[in-house]
């Protein structure tokens, strides 16, 4: 495996060619799931360049925490992705993974002196602030740093998804104080929230207008993960950039993006397998099903999205996640329903008539999978959900993508246990990337369990086919 020693080409003859290029360039410790993530990153990066590259500098960032997988983070860095860190351990992890200080945003408006000193030692050049006290601290302890005013859109606090950021009524006073302290305010950063495109952009517009009246540059717009939370924002963003003379755009590649690549691969691999079976006259095609599940709750008892020949179902057994499935049913077609078995399990089930639209009852769960992003990350990966997991002593979720033929492993693949199977069971090829700490275990796995997949060279080809199918 080679490391990425050159910028990614901007144009490929096809998406499959792009995937092949990524496969050859990946660092050795990046496994199959990482390849899917990087392919999705390439699509997002290409989309940003195509949409805004001619009028504004674009920068994708990825959120780094203390337990981030260094292989994936390093590969993202070499693909030109910046990083967002909030705490001391996050910053150390980012630097050790290959990200450099100038490519990092210290996204923490309440920094301690020791954190500021550490950031300065690593040449971090940009940070956020949201109050007058923080502005004074930055001007005194970190002169010359480029600062972004972190703003909270009106209504975000009522949703429980924003506790940081300057409120609309305090933006002017905070910016005025920053000017008096001599702080170099270069732009605005919008708190990740769910107030919609209008709220996100209006909060940014107000901050930019007020800042420029006070003499601040205000030429950089950071919208975090908001760009992936609503397709509506993407339609309005171009006009906003032009009208407000924005020179640089930052947007987050993590959360929605990295989960989307797993979901999308699951859907398309299942679809491809079903079509192959149909072409080959396989009488067992009804046995094929593709599952995305969470083994953190023990086997597949936590949650599971299962795609079959003519249906899709979702189950959740964790008490704090029951509302996720019920809420998701609002996005389903009329054919979908939500049922409870009385034992704590809630099922969302829908039937589709179209072979080509296996996930029709979840609408655009693939390439335009707003519902997929919402379901996996607002429901299973959002901060409030993680807090609930931590409070209950639960591990971080494990996203799993695998194909099987009427058989489930008795132990989670890659969990440290063994999958007991009879001698007639298909061979399993599992490639895992795991991170451990005293309180959590997180792994991403892409594996294939099918009679047509053997080991060695055949399995390597199958791994490549996953990504080729995903990008076709």
Q: What strands, in cross-sheet order, belong to the sheet with 303-307? A: 337-340, 346-351, 311-316, 303-307, 288-294, 399-405, 441-449, 428-436
Which tens digits make up the pLDDT trace of 427-453? 222 222 222 222 222 222 222 222 222
Nearest to 56 by CA among 243, 207, 192, 257: 243
Which pLDDT value is given to residue 162?
Answer: 55
pTM passes above 0.85: no
pLDDT given for residue 176 in this prediction: 97
d(CA 153, CA 355): 42
Q: Residue 430 and residue 427: Cα distance in Å, rounded? A: 10
**Is residue 366 within 8 Å of 397, Cβ to Cβ?**
no
- pLDDT for position 5: 37
| pLDDT for position 96 | 85
pLDDT beneath 50, residues of the chain: 1-20, 22-23, 25-37, 158-161, 228-231, 254-274, 283-390, 392, 394-472
Predicted pLDDT of residue 47: 61
* pLDDT given for residue 349 in this prediction: 38
Residues 6+ away with beta carbon under 8 Å from 260: 40, 228, 369, 372, 373
Burial class of 414 by CB neighbour count within 10 A (0 to 12, 13 to 18, 19+): buried
| Closest-CA residue to 257 (of 2, 470, 37, 106) | 37
Q: What sign does the dihedral 386-388-391-397 (CA atoms) show?
A: negative
In angstroms, the Cα distances linking 384 to 163, 377, 395 are: 12, 11, 14
- Residues in Cβ contact with 424 at an 8 Å cutoff, skipping those fewer than 6 apart: none
Say if strands 399-405 and 441-449 run parallel, antiparallel, or are unpaired: parallel
> Sign of dihedral through CA atoms 321, 297, 270, 345?
negative
Name the residue among 227, 226, 223 with its Cα closest to residue 207. 223
CA–CA separation, 20 vs 14, rounded Å?
A: 10
Q: What is the distance between the alpha carbons of residues 192 and 152, in angstroms, rounded to a whole number?
A: 8
CATH 3.20.20.10 fits 15-254, yes or no: yes
pLDDT at 204: 94
Domain boundaries, the chain: 15-254, 283-471
């Amino acid at each position: 495996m080679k490391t990425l020693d050159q910028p990614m080409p901007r144009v490929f003859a096809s998406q499959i060619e792009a995937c092949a290029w990524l496969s050859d360039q990946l660092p050795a410790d990046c496994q199959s799931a990482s390849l899917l993530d990087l392919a999705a990153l390439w699509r997002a990066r290409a989309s940003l360049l195509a949409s805004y590259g001619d009028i504004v500098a674009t920068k994708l960032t990825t959120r780094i925490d203390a337990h981030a997988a260094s292989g994936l983070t390093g590969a993202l860095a070499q693909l030109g992705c910046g990083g967002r860190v909030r705490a001391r351990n996050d910053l150390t992890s980012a630097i050790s993974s290959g990200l450099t200080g100038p490519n990092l945003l210290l996204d923490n408006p309440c920094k301690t002196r020791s954190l500021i000193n550490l950031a300065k030692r690593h040449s971090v050049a940009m940070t956020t602030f949201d109050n007058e006290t923080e502005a004074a601290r930055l001007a005194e302890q970190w002169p010359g740093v480029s600062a972004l005013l972190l703003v909270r859109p009106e209504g975000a606090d009522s949703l429980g998804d924003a506790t940081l950021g300057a409120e609309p009524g305090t933006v002017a006073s905070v910016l005025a104080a920053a000017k008096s302290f001599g702080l170099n305010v270069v732009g605005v950063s919008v708190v990740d929230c769910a107030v919609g495109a209008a709220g996100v952009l209006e909060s940014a517009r107000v901050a930019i207008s007020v800042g420029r009246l006070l003499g601040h540059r205000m030429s950089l717009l950071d919208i975090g993960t908001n760009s992936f939370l609503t397709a509506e924002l993407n339609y309005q963003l171009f006009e906003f950039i032009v009208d407000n003379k924005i020179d640089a755009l930052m947007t987050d590649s993590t959360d929605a993006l990295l989960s989307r690549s797993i979901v999308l691969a699951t859907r398309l691999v299942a679809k491809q397998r079903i079509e192959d079976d149909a072409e080959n006259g396989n009488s067992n095609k009804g046995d094929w099903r593709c599952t995305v599940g969470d083994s953190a709750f023990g086997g597949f008892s936590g949650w599971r999205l299962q795609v079959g020949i003519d249906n899709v179902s979702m189950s959740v057994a964790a008490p704090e996640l029951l509302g996720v499935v019920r809420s998701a049913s609002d996005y389903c077609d009329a054919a979908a329903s939500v049922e409870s078995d009385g034992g704590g399990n809630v099922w969302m089930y829908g039937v589709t008539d179209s072979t080509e639209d296996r996930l029709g009852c979840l609408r655009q769960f693939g390439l335009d999978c707003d519902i997929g992003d919402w379901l996996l990350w607002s429901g299973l990966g959002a901060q409030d959900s993680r807090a609930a997991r931590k409070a209950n002593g639960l591990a971080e979720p494990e996203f799993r993508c695998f194909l099987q033929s009427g058989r489930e492993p008795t132990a989670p693949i890659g969990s440290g246990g063994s999958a007991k199977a009879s001698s007639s069971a298909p061979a399993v090829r599992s490639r895992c990337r795991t991170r451990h700490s005293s309180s959590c275990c997180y792994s991403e796995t892409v594996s294939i369990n099918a009679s047509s997949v053997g080991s060695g060279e055949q399995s390597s080809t199958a791994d490549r086919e996953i990504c080729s199918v995903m990008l076709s």
